[in-house]
């Protein structure tokens, strides 16, 4: 059997035990993407200043919502969301029976960020790890994710607009003011970019992958070489 499980990911389940609670509405006022449309979507929970705290994909499972997130950040994300829950009757907890799965190729379940990333789905927590293949594939397309690569950066610097990770029409959410202002001014001065490790500036490096000869750097747009630009940024 082909390995498909992404062991670096975890699943958080949001459940509303009473019909009066609307899970989509709960997330709608918190995260960057529109929760009223089709799922899955890529989204982030930002600081009030518009910097990335967590990024994740949101899926639906019947009336429940599932967050496909970084495993090392899952407990912190669940705790942060619970702070915003206040008195609402919403359960927020890790679902250890579920796992994130991936395989390359185009089919019925494309990654909402970029179809070329391949097929992504949630299923039983079983199977062999596809982490090495996924990492190489993701970086080859110039897509960054997770706290090491994106944490504490402005969301639009993370290529969120180009990768379907933000809505500019949905209304207010945490960090919306700075994000909307950057978009209105068309002023994204820096971006996260996958570069050859040999060309990586240690002062601008976010993460390094020696086994792949690659690194993720946070660079001024003027310093990004044309050959480093992924296809989704070619028109930038």
pLDDT digits (tens, 9 = 90+) for 75-101: 999 999 999 998 889 999 999 999 999
CATH 3.40.1170.60 fits 9-188, yes or no: no
Enumerate the domain spans of the chain.
9-188
Q: What is the pLDDT of residues 32-81, one digit of tens each?
A: 999 999 999 999 999 999 999 999 999 999 999 999 999 999 999 999 99
What is the edge-to-edge ordering of all strands in the sheet holding 214-220?
A: 190-196, 214-220, 205-209
* Rg of the chain (C-alpha set): 18
Take residue 31 and report the two structure tokens written for it: 């995260």
Evaluate whether 55 touches 44 at the Cβ level (below 8 Å): yes
Residue by residue, pLDDT tens for the chain (236 residues) are 589 999 999 999 999 988 778 999 999 999 999 999 999 999 999 999 999 999 999 999 999 999 999 999 999 999 999 999 988 899 999 999 999 999 999 888 999 999 999 999 999 999 999 999 999 999 999 999 999 999 999 999 999 999 999 999 998 999 999 999 998 888 899 999 999 999 999 999 999 999 999 999 999 999 999 999 999 998 64
Q: Are strands 41-46 and 119-124 parallel, antiparallel or unpaired?
A: unpaired
């Amino acid at each position: 059997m082909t390995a498909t499980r992404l062991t670096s990911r975890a699943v958080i389940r949001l459940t509303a035990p009473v019909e009066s609670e609307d899970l989509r509405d709960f997330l709608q006022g918190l995260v960057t993407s529109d929760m009223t449309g089709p799922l899955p979507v890529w989204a982030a929970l930002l600081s009030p200043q518009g910097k990335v705290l967590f990024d994740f994909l949101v899926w639906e499972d019947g009336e429940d919502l599932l967050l496909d997130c970084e495993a090392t950040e899952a407990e912190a994300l669940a705790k942060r969301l619970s702070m915003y829950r206040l008195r609402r009757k919403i359960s927020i907890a890790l679902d250890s029976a579920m796992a994130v799965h991936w395989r390359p190729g185009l089919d019925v379940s494309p990654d909402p960020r970029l179809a070329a990333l391949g097929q992504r789905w949630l299923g039983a927590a079983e199977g062999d790890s596809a982490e090495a293949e996924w990492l190489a594939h993701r970086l080859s397309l110039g897509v960054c994710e997770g706290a090491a690569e994106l944490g504490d950066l402005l969301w639009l610097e993370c290529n969120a607009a180009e990768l379907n990770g933000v809505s500019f029409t949905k209304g207010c959410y945490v960090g919306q003011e700075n994000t909307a202002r950057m978009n209105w001014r068309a002023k994204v001065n820096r971006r996260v970019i996958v570069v050859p490790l040999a060309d990586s500036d240690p002062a601008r490096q976010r993460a390094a992958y020696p086994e792949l000869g690659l690194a993720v750097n946070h660079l001024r747009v003027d310093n990004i070489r044309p050959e480093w630009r992924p296809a989704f940024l070619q028109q930038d």
